Structures are given as C-alpha cells and as structure tokens.
Amino acid sequence: MRESVVQRQLQAYNDKNIDLFMECYSEDVKIYDFPNTLAIEGQEAMRERYHKLFESYPNMLATVDKRIFHGKYVIDHEEITGRLEGAIIEAVAMYEIKDDLITKVWFLKGD
C-alpha cells in the first residue's frame, strides 16, 4: 500500500493531473521544508500551489532513482527536470503514510 500511493502521486505529478495528484493526500496534509518549517497545510493550499506549478512548468518531470521503505514512511531520492533551463534539481522527499494517504511530506533540497 505504501508504494502504491507514493507511486500514484509521482505519476500524477508527471502527468500534471492535479485531481489524481490530490487524491493521494489527506485533507489535513502538511508539507515541510526539512526539518520542521511548515510550507503548506491542507489540501486547498496544496492544490493551489501545485496547480500553479503544473501550469508554469509543463515539461517538468520527476524521476526516482532510490526509494526506501521504513515502517509508515517512504523516502525517495528525486531528480526534477524541466524547471530550470538544462538543470537537474535534486531533492529527497520523505512521505508519511496513513490509511493509504500521504499525511505529511518533508523535503530536503539539494544545493
């Protein structure tokens, strides 16, 4: 179950399908810049932010080259292209899963 929701949200992200993307998250989702800076709280704020992101970067694509499972957590090492000309953005995302929904996300951004 852990893998399916994280994989579904990754596919929806790459497809820029905001509705399928949001179906993967709980109503009270919280997104943090690691370790504890709250960046987004709740589905409404998240939908608004990601809808703008999807519209602004139609060629954006995230790939996962490493995925770790640990209890209720899934940790992905991601590479994102299509946002900065010719650049690859590296990030680590840690997802907390409950009842097959993502409830919290922590992002560790690379330099």
Does residue 69 carry a pLDDT above 60?
yes
Q: What is the count of structural domains for the chain?
A: 1
Counting residues of the chain whose pLDDT is more than 90, the rounded percentage is 90
For residue 97, the domain's CATH number is 3.10.450.50
- Using one digit for the tens of pLDDT, what is the confidence trace for 38-47? 999 999 999 9
Does residue 3 carry a pLDDT above 80?
no
The whole-model pTM stands at: 0.92
- Using one digit for the tens of pLDDT, what is the confidence trace for 46-64? 999 999 999 999 999 999 9
First-residue to last-residue Cα distance in the chain? 32
Residue 79 belongs to domain spanning: 5-108
Quote the CA–CA distance of 42 and 4 in Å, as a whole number: 21
Does residue 110 carry a pLDDT above 90?
no
Half-sphere exposure of 17 (CA within 13 A, CB side): 12
Q: Which of 110, 96, 19, 83 is nearest to 8 (CA)?
A: 19
> CB within 8 A of 52, min separation 6: which ones?
none
